[in-house]
A = this chain, B = another copy of it.
Amino acid sequence: MKKLAILGSTGSIGTQTLDVVRNNPDLFSVSVLSCASKLDVIRRQIDEFHPEMVVLANEKDALEMEKDYPGICFEFGNIGLEAAASSDCDMVVNALMGIKGLAPTYHAILAGHEIAFANKETLVAGGALIMGMAHKCGVSLLPVDSEHSAIFQCLQGNPVQRVKRIIITASGGPFRGYSLEQLENVTLEQAMKHPKWNMGPKITIDSATLMNKGLEVIEASWLFDMPLEKISVVVHPQSIIHSMVEYEDNSIIAQMGFPDMRVPIGYALSYPDRLPNDLPSLKRFEKAPELSFELPDMETFKCMKLALDAMKAGGSYTAALNGANEALVQYFLKGRIRFIDIQNMLDEVMQHHKPIYKLDLPDILRVDRDARVAVKMLVERS
A249/B266 contact (C-beta < 8 A), A156-B157, A256-B254 known: yes
Residue A280 is within 8 A (CB to CB) of chain B in the complex: yes
- B249 touching A282 by the CB < 8 A rule? no
Partner of A282, one of B250, B255, B273, B284: B250
Q: Contact flags (1/0) for A265-295 with B, using CB distance below 8 Å?
A: 0110000111111011110111111111111
Residue A139 is within 8 A (CB to CB) of chain B in the complex: no
Compute how far the CA of A263 lies from the CA of B246 in the bound complex, rounded to whole angstroms. 12
Residue A167 is within 8 A (CB to CB) of chain B in the complex: yes
Residue A348 is within 8 A (CB to CB) of chain B in the complex: no
For A234, give the chain B residue with the smallest CB separation. Answer: B285
Residue A253 is within 8 A (CB to CB) of chain B in the complex: yes
- A251 touching B257 by the CB < 8 A rule? yes
For A278, give the chain B residue with the smallest CB separation. Answer: B250
- B275 touching A248 by the CB < 8 A rule? yes
- A256 touching B274 by the CB < 8 A rule? no
What residues of chain B lie closer than 8 Å to A294, measured between beta carbons? 288
**A128: shortest Cβ distance to chain B, in Å?**
28
A251/B247 contact (C-beta < 8 A), A159-B272, A234-B286, A292-B289 known: no
- B263 touching A251 by the CB < 8 A rule? yes
Residue A244 is within 8 A (CB to CB) of chain B in the complex: yes
Compute how far the CA of A162 lies from the CA of B274 in the bound complex, rounded to whole angstroms. 7
**A253: shortest Cβ distance to chain B, in Å?**
6
What residues of chain B lie closer than 8 Å to A291, measured between beta carbons? 290-292
**A292: shortest Cβ distance to chain B, in Å?**
5
Q: Which residues of A contact B (CB under 8 A)?
A: 153-159, 162, 164, 167, 232, 234, 241, 244, 246-258, 260, 263, 266-267, 272-277, 279-282, 284-295
Compute how far the CA of A293 lies from the CA of B293 in the bound complex, rounded to whole angstroms. 15
Given contacts A249-B263, A249-B266, A291-B292, 8 further A-B contacts (CB under 8 A): A153-B251, A156-B156, A162-B273, A249-B276, A251-B263, A253-B253, A254-B255, A284-B293
For A291, give the chain B residue with the smallest CB separation. Answer: B291
- A250 touching B275 by the CB < 8 A rule? no
Partner of A274, one of B248, B266, B272: B248
For A247, give the chain B residue with the smallest CB separation. Answer: B274
Compute how far the CA of A254 lies from the CA of B253 in the bound complex, rounded to whole angstroms. 6
**A295: shortest Cβ distance to chain B, in Å?**
6
Partner of A157, one of B251, B254, B272, B279: B272
Compute how far the CA of A318 lies from the CA of B10 in the bound complex, rounded to whole angstroms. 56
What residues of chain B lie closer than 8 Å to A284, measured between beta carbons? 293
Compute how far the CA of A250 lies from the CA of B280 in the bound complex, rounded to whole angstroms. 7
Compute how far the CA of A232 lies from the CA of B164 in the bound complex, rounded to whole angstroms. 30
A158/B157 contact (C-beta < 8 A), A252-B255, A291-B290 known: yes
Compute how far the CA of A279 lies from the CA of B287 in the bound complex, rounded to whole angstroms. 33
- A257 touching B263 by the CB < 8 A rule? no
Compute how far the CA of A266 lies from the CA of B164 in the bound complex, rounded to whole angstroms. 16
Partner of A249, one of B267, B285, B295: B267
- A282 touching B247 by the CB < 8 A rule? no
